């Protein structure tokens, strides 16, 4: 038996075992059944009380501190799971909002627990070709201020000491890895543009435009006060105020124009010029209003009041427009905002992958019938979106038998006007837009027996649109004797289709835009992640995400490395176990 001071380590390990299990699970604990988590909470709380009462004896200070950290963090993670799932649990009231927020941050970034700096740098480099994934989003979020929030929480004395102690150790480890990886990534212009979002100069100019709008607002308020006392104010005083406003506005406008012209990024420069132009137009509108008011007679005060109200509404509209535009700039790190350069890259990615998939899948089977591609081409639609069309014909030995003809259309859809106006887009594709494409497909494909539509969007699809192809209620799904509809979220790399549609099922592998080697590599990575956490993974755990053939192949390939073993367990099935 091992002792430290007069402490019994075997006893201590038994008490800590449930808590250590929760710590290892991390964020995944939120997926466990409510009753199971409640049982864990009660058991860990009981063991913690036993420890504090000296059930296992006394231990050295460093061991005592580490033990209390483990217990407090495990209880905190369970509390966060109830909070995350919006479940009623009385003990949750003992935790402050900031404590749960700190725990959430650490769990969110725990991917860096098992990744080295080289792993993160490799993800950064792969993102240049595969698209931006969750890892890069975490790096961007950290770079743009989340790290400061976590540091503030760790310093907050109102948060339990041992929770802060545990979080500090983990966060310093994550920070060190992220800082080194970001420093390495900053050598590349594309990564620097991605992670910085809007550069400091543009932020400064936005602030200047913001201040200019506030200046106009202040001047408007002062002039309104003058109008309230219209009868007691001389006409010359109002004209003087107007001229002062004009001079100040012109001076600030000229300074802003000069700085905007110095910007190298044409896209952001145009955007800022547009904002400045809107402010200038509204300013001119105010001057025009003032000129008209100066001509009015005393008996027209009621009309002045009405016109003043209209001017206020115009200002409110303008100010809200500027404010929302600035807020959108600050939200560029959010996952559903897609910049123009990203959308352009996704378009190339979609077109190149789909063409390669078509070239490798010249023949496709649908319920025993074989269809061969005999023509494919890339066209640009009227709204400047890209479309790939492939024509297919059924292969039959008897040339006199009627052959079924299929038109396959892969459409990359974006809100072109949004990108042209703002340089980014946040709006998912709507049901109305999908309906319009379906109607056109019926007209353009009237000479074909079947039209298969693959609509891809970098901003995804609204919930109603996704429901028409993947609703839990099969009766709500879109099904037609002419059109087979599939939706592909380019940013999330997710395909939506109705599994009831035999043509969608047959074309799903092609429309996923993922090649077999890539699926095997992705599956292998997912399996290893699960095994690293639990030391085993079942076939059923993974088969929902990948095809059965791929999962089976990955299991046996990993077994050949000598580090894993595949077993068949009754009532469970295939299980991959780490040796």
For residue 430, count other CB atoms closer than 10 A to its CB: 14
Supply the pLDDT for residue 579: 78
Instruction: Tell me how far apart the alpha carbons of residues 182 and 124 are, in angstroms, rounded to a whole number.
Output: 9
Q: Give the whole-angstrom CA distance, residue 405 versus residue 371.
A: 8
Q: Tokens 């400047």 sit at which residue?
A: 384
pLDDT tier, 123 (very low <50, low <70, confident <90, very high otherwise): confident
As beta bridge partners, residue 364 has: 371
pLDDT > 60? residue 80: yes
Give the whole-angstrom CA distance, residue 173 versus residue 189. 27
CB 170 within 8 A of CB 114: no
**Token digits for 133?**
């994934």
Contact 185, 120 (CB under 8 A): no
SS (H, E, C) 246-310: HHHHHHHHHHHHHHHHCCCCHHHHHHHHHHHHHHHHHHHHHHHHHHHHHCCCHHHHHHHHHHHHH
- Written as six digits, the tokens of 62 are 């460093």
Res 234: pLDDT? 55
Q: Is it the case that residue 333 has pLDDT exceeding 70?
A: no
Q: State the Cα–Cα distance between residues 442 and 477, nearest whole angstrom.
A: 18
The neighbouring-strand residues paired with 371 are 364, 394
- pLDDT at position 198 is 44
571 torsion bin: left (phi>0), alpha (psi -120 to 50), beta (else): left
What are the φ and ψ backbone dihedral angles of 103, each rounded to 5 degrees? -60, -40
DSSP letter at 578 equals E
Share of the chain above pLDDT 90, in %: 9
Q: Which of 96, 66, 70 is nearest to 158 (CA)?
A: 96
Confidence of residue 265 (pLDDT cuts 50, 70, 90): low
Q: Report the distance separating Cα 289 and Cα 216, nearest Å.
A: 14
Range 518-578: architecture per CATH: Orthogonal Bundle (1.10)
161-185 vs 134-141: helix crossing angle, rounded to 10: 110
| Measured distance CA(378)–CA(125) in Å, rounded | 29
SS3 458: coil
d(CA 126, CA 185): 12
Least confident of 44-53, 100-109, 333-342, 474-483: 333-342
Strand 405-412 and strand 450-457: the pairing is: parallel
Cα gap 153→175, rounded to integer Å:
15
Distance in angstroms (rounded) separating the CA atoms of residues 92 and 558:
42
pTM of whole model > 0.85?
no
Enter the DSSP assignment of 514: -
**Mean pLDDT within 65-91:** 89
- pLDDT over 60 at 433, yes or no: yes
pLDDT reported for residue 4? 46
- Which pLDDT score is estimated for 2? 42
Across the range 189-201, mean pLDDT stands at 63
Mean pLDDT, range 84-88, rounded to an integer: 87
User: SS3 of 536, please?
Assistant: strand
Q: Are 140 and 333 in contact (CB under 8 A)?
A: yes
Model confidence band, residue 331 (pLDDT cutoffs 50, 70, 90): very low
DSSP symbol at 24? H
* CA dihedral angle for residue 283, residue 287, residue 289, residue 290, rounded to 10 degrees: 140
pLDDT, position 332: 40
Strands 424-425 and 338-339 turn out to be antiparallel
Per-residue pLDDT band at 364 (split at 50, 70, 90): confident
**Residue 218 — very low, low, confident or very high, per pLDDT cuts 50/70/90?**
confident
- Which pLDDT does position 292 carry in this prediction? 67
CB within 8 A of 551, min separation 6: which ones?
A: 523, 527, 539, 542, 543
CA 511 from chain center: how many Å? 22
Q: What backbone phi and psi angles, to 5 degrees, belong to 286?
A: -65, -45
Closest alpha carbon to 196 in 152, 131, 142: 142
- DSSP SS3 for 403: coil
Q: Which two tokens stand for residue 243?
A: 């001229």
Separation CA 143–CA 178 (nearest Å): 9
258 band by pLDDT with thresholds 50, 70 and 90:
low
223 versus 185: which is more confidently predicted? 185
What radius of gyration do the chain's Cα atoms show?
32
Compute the residue count for the chain: 579
Q: What's the pLDDT tens digit per position in 476-494?
A: 788 788 899 999 998 888 8
User: Of 136-140, 217-221, 384-388, where does the model show the most confidence?
Assistant: 384-388
pLDDT band at 152 (very low <50, low <70, confident <90, very high): confident
Q: What is the pLDDT of residues 48-59, one digit of tens each?
A: 899 988 889 888
Task: For residue range 375-407, list pLDDT tens digits in order.
Answer: 878 777 666 788 999 998 888 777 667 888 999
The lowest-confidence range among 37-41, 207-211, 299-303, 433-437 is 299-303
**What is the residue-averaged pLDDT of the chain?**
79
Q: At 509, is the secondary structure helix, strand, or coil?
A: helix
What distance in Å separates the CA atoms of residue 131 and residue 245, rounded to the nearest whole number? 49
Q: What is the DSSP string of 418-444?
A: HHHHHSEE-PPBPHHHHHHHHHHHHHH
| pLDDT band for position 572 (cuts 50, 70, 90) | confident
Q: Identify the residue whose tokens are 């087979």.
A: 484
User: What's the confidence (pLDDT) of residue 46?
Assistant: 92
Asked if residues 185 and 191 have their Cβ atoms less than 8 Å apart, the reply is yes
Average pLDDT over residues 200-213: 60
């Amino acid at each position: 038996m091992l002792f430290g001071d007069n402490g019994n380590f075997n006893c201590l390990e038994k008490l800590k075992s449930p808590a250590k299990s929760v710590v290892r699970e991390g964020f995944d604990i939120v997926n466990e059944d409510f009753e199971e988590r409640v049982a864990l909470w009660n058991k860990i709380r009981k063991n913690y009380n036993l420890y504090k009462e000296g059930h296992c004896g006394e231990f050295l200070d460093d061991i005592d501190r580490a033990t209390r950290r483990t217990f407090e963090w495990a209880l905190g993670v369970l509390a966060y799971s109830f909070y995350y799932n919006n479940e009623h649990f009385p003990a949750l009231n003992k935790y402050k909002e900031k404590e749960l927020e700190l725990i959430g941050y650490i769990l969110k970034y725990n991917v860096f627990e098992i990744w080295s700096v080289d792993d993160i740098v490799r993800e950064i480099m792969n993102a240049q070709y595969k698209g931006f994934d969750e890892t890069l989003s975490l790096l961007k979020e950290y770079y743009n201020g989340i790290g400061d929030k976590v540091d503030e929480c760790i310093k907050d004395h109102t948060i339990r000491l041992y929770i802060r102690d545990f979080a500090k150790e983990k966060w310093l480890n994550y920070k060190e890895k992220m800082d080194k990886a970001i420093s390495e990534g900053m050598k590349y212009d594309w990564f620097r543009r991605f992670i910085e979002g809007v550069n400091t100069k543009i932020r400064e100019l936005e602030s200047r435009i913001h201040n200019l709008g506030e200046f106009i607002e202040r001047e408007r308020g002062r002039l309104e006060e003058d109008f309230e006392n219209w009868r007691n104010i001389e006409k010359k005083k109002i004209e003087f105020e107007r001229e002062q406003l004009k001079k100040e506005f012109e001076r600030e406008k000229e300074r802003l124009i000069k700085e905007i012209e110095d910007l190298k990024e044409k896209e952001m420069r145009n955007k800022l010029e547009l904002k400045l132009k809107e402010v200038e137009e509204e300013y001119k509108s105010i001057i025009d209003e003032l000129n008209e008011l100066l001509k009015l007679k005393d008996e027209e005060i009621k009309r002045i009041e009405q016109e003043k109200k209209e001017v206020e509404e115009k200002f409110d509209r303008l100010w809200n427009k500027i404010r929302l535009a600035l807020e959108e700039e600050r939200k560029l790190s959010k996952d559903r905002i897609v910049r123009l350069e990203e959308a352009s890259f996704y378009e190339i990615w979609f077109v190149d992958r789909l063409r390669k998939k078509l070239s490798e899948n010249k023949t496709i089977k649908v319920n025993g019938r074989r269809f061969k591609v005999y023509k494919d081409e890339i066209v640009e639609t009227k709204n400047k979106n890209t479309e790939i069309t492939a024509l297919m014909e059924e292969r039959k030995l008897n040339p006199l038998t009627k052959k079924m003809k299929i038109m396959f259309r892969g459409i990359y859809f974006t809100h072109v006007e949004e990108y042209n106006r703002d340089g980014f887009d946040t709006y998912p594709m709507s049901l109305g837009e999908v309906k319009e494409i379906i109607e056109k497909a019926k007209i353009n494909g009237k000479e074909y027996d079947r039209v298969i539509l693959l609509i891809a969007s970098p901003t995804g699809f609204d919930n109603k649109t996704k429901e028409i192809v993947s609703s839990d209620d099969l009766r709500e799904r879109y099904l037609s004797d002419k059109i087979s509809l599939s939706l592909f979220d380019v940013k999330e790399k997710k395909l939506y289709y109705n599994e009831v549609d035999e043509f969608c099922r047959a074309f799903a592998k092609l429309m996923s835009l993922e090649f077999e080697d890539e699926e095997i590599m992705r599956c292998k990575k997912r399996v290893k992640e699960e095994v690293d956490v639990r030391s085993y993974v079942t076939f059923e755990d993974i088969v929902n995400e990948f095809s059965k053939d791929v999962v089976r192949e990955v299991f046996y390939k990993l077994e050949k490395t000598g580090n894993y073993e595949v077993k068949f367990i009754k009532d469970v099935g295939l299980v991959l176990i780490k040796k």
